[in-house]
Amino acid sequence: MLLEKTTRMNFLFDFYQALLTDKQRSYMQLYYLDDHSLGEIAESYDVSRQAVYDNIRRTETMLEEYEEKLQLFEKFQNRQRILAKLSESVMDVSSVKTDQLALIEQLKQFD
């Protein structure tokens, strides 16, 4: 579960980091990407560990709200699944071209 949450937060951060403040962006990058502890972040910013924890939790909530409204990560995942199917279809010589065209049409729907 923890690895799944970390992976999800990393993706959401990639998609929505431009919508965050500099401090939020910095805390999230240090915590999730650079794997710093709350204490290490608190020490480098001269704030309490609780302040860092609260900021990260609020930022996580904001990222989830952005995803709920904009669904950029969900659309990305759907495109990746369809592209994988399309790749398999292209490699399979017995595959019918209409299958490939149908997958391409599905991809077009996400934009």
What backbone phi and psi angles, to 5 degrees, belong to 21?
Answer: -75, 165
Read off the pLDDT of residues 63-78 as tens digits, 9 standing for 90 and up.
999 999 999 999 999 9
- How high is the pLDDT of residue 24? 97
Read off the pLDDT of residues 15-45 as tens digits, 9 standing for 90 and up.
999 999 999 999 999 999 999 999 999 999 9
Select from 3.30.30.60, 2.60.40.10, 1.10.1660.10, 1.10.10.10 the CATH code of 2-70. Answer: 1.10.10.10
**CA 55 → CA 1, 6, 7, 36, 75, distances in Å?**
21, 16, 19, 15, 27
Locate the domains of the chain by residue range: 2-70, 74-109
The span from the CA of 57 to the CA of 97, in Å, is: 48
With cut-offs at 50, 70 and 90, classify the pLDDT of residue 107: confident
pTM exceeds 0.85, yes or no: no
Tokens describing residue 89: 């279809």
- How high is the pLDDT of residue 94? 63
